[in-house]
Structure 1
């Protein structure tokens, strides 16, 4: 099949960010399909068409970054929505479109293709929009909210199939009126060949200005309001008197400047901030760490998330601490690869960190369990194959 894949934030393994669409595209190509990826440029790069590892990538020039305000982000979403819809109308007709959120506006070009050119599509739900911005207070107008929910239902209704990234997202899609048989759950993926346990690289420790023998806790990924970063710093206020603990915060986002300022004001010199890292560098940084944190703000909808950092942590063979009372809590507790900390009580996170620090055998055991889970359940080789089989099975049934 000739497949048009629409993902506003597509990145390759050489770039910082989530690479799910890249690996799925590779598996589609491996199975004989042609993939054209429609996405946006990084920064001020010019619009262009290039072939990357067999994927034909169309870059539309629409700058976007995590420091944009709400209005700037909305304009970026709307611009991509319009330009991608025009592309769908003008391009050579593909056999199938795969659209992946977020944002929900990605649903507009796939609907345009379905309604005006009879192009069938599969829709992938990475976040339950508009429920996320509604619960976070980003959308307050009742009429707009009503229209957004109607738009969401229309996207699911017109799709051949919907792929959800977590059990909670699956329930959200089902609650929107989608038949259960039309939904497949395929979570985010572990990359066991990119993140793996090995001896700690002492040169990396020196380069990052860290103590060689400290107990290192890492958070890596986005630093937006949804990520609950102040909760992490609140937890570390209970650890100020502890010797030999360091916190590594890797990534970028709108709250980062305030987090840095808070650490300076409160004398948290054991907290180290780093920018976004390409995958190879991030892998080395996660590997020198002892425990990984996966946090979100205390909102029910965020408990449905399927965060990349969780699966990369599993691959790296590092134990976890999560604070979402959803499916990730159940998973880390059932598989004995992590602890849950109440999002209303940061002291619980501090106690969990100390439990790991004071029990190296437990830390090793939970790390081994994490790696086993990555290899046997969540590796991209397993889940990409499941994704492609879902696409092919759907296509055979409907096309």
Structure 2
């Protein structure tokens, strides 16, 4: 089949960010499908078309950054919705469309493909929009909320099949009236060949300006309002500086500058911010850490998240601290690969870090269990095959 894959934030392993669409595309190509990726040109305004590892990538000139305010983000979403819909209208020869959110507006060009071109589509739910921005206070107008929920249901109803990235997202889709046999749960994926446990690279520790003998805690990935970043700083303050613990922050987003400012104003000394990192470099860095943090703001809808950083941390064989009382809590407790801390009690975060620091045997056991879970359940080789098999059944 000739497949049009619509993903506004598509990145490759050489870039910083989630690479799920890249790996799924590679698996589809292995099965003999041709994949065209429709995305935005965030890195360079000059690129329009490029072939990347056999994927035909079409770039739409729409600047986007996680640090943008709400209004600029909405403009970027709407521009991508309109320009990608125009691309669909003009294009010929596609047999299937895969549209992956967020935002929800990515579903519109897929809807256009079905209604005007008769092309079926798969819709992938990475977050339950519009419920996420509603609960976070980004959308307050009652008419707008009603309209967006109708739009969400319309996209689900017209999809040939829906892929949800967590059990909570699966349930969220079903609650709109969609039959269960129309939805598959395929979570985010580990990359056991990209993140793996090995001897710590001391030169990396030195380059990052870290102590050789400190207990290193890492947070990596998006730094948005949803990621509970102030909760982490609250926990760091309660922990204090006398325990030889260092905190590394890698990523980008709206909260990054605010967190740096808070650290300066409140004299939070044992934190370092490094910005974005490509996957290979990040793999080395995660490997020198002792524990990985996966946090979210305390909102019910955010318990449905399926964060990339969690699965990369599993691959790296790290004990994980989560603060979301959803399926990630169940995961780390059931498989003994980390601990859960209350998102309203930053003291629990400080105590959890100290527990792992002072109980090396348990920490090592958690790390070993993380790697086993990545290898046996969540590796991309397993989940991309599951996605590809689902596509094959839709022929």
Q: Compare 40-49 and 254-263 and name the one that shifted more.
A: 40-49
TM-score for both structures, normalised by structure 2: 0.99
Cα distance in structure 1, aligned partners of 2:194 and 2:47: 30
| Contact 2:314/2:371 (8 A) holds in 1 | yes
Cα distance in structure 2, aligned partners of 1:119 and 1:99: 12
Q: Compare 221-230 and 240-249 and name the one that shifted more.
A: 240-249
Cα distance in structure 2, aligned partners of 1:85 and 1:241: 53
Q: Are 2:227 and 1:217 aligned? A: no
**Number of the residue aligned with 1:167:** 167
Deviations 1:218-257 (A, max 9, x none): 0001111000100000011111143210000111111111
Q: Compare 233-242 and 305-314 and name the one that shifted more.
A: 233-242
**Number of the residue aligned with 1:20:** 20
Q: Secondary structure at the match of 1:238?
A: helix
Equivalent residues in 2 for 1:40-189 (5 A)?
A: 40-189=40-189
| Contact 1:251/1:274 (8 A) holds in 2 | yes
| Contact 2:99/2:110 (8 A) holds in 1 | yes
Deviations 1:121-156 (A, max 9, x none): 011000000000000010011011000000000000
Report deviation, 1:66: 1.1
Report deviation, 1:159: 0.4
Q: Compare 45-54 and 194-203 and name the one that shifted more.
A: 45-54
**Number of the residue aligned with 1:268:** 268
Q: Are 2:209 and 1:199 aligned? A: no
Report deviation, 1:43: 4.1
Cα distance in structure 2, aligned partners of 1:206 and 1:45: 36
Cα distance in structure 1, aligned partners of 2:138 and 2:198: 42
| Contact 1:139/1:145 (8 A) holds in 2 | yes
**Number of the residue aligned with 2:385:** 385
Cα distance in structure 1, aligned partners of 2:4 and 2:43: 24
Cα distance in structure 1, aligned partners of 2:192 and 2:45: 32
Report deviation, 1:44: 4.5
**Number of the residue aligned with 1:229:** 229
| Contact 2:241/2:269 (8 A) holds in 1 | no
| Contact 2:292/2:318 (8 A) holds in 1 | yes
Cα distance in structure 1, aligned partners of 2:40 and 2:149: 26
**Number of the residue aligned with 1:208:** 208
Report deviation, 1:47: 4.3
Cα distance in structure 2, aligned partners of 1:274 and 1:106: 31
Q: Secondary structure at the match of 1:107?
A: helix
| Contact 1:44/1:63 (8 A) holds in 2 | no
Cα distance in structure 1, aligned partners of 2:67 and 2:267: 25
Deviations 1:266-322 (A, max 9, x none): 222210101100000100110000000000000000000000000000000000000
Report deviation, 1:262: 1.1
Report deviation, 1:92: 1.4
- Give the length in aligned residue pairs: 395
| Contact 1:43/1:64 (8 A) holds in 2 | no
Report deviation, 1:393: 0.6
Post-superposition, which runs of at least 4 consecutive aligned residues in structure 1 deviate over 6 A? none
Report deviation, 1:265: 1.8
Cα distance in structure 1, aligned partners of 2:337 and 2:242: 24
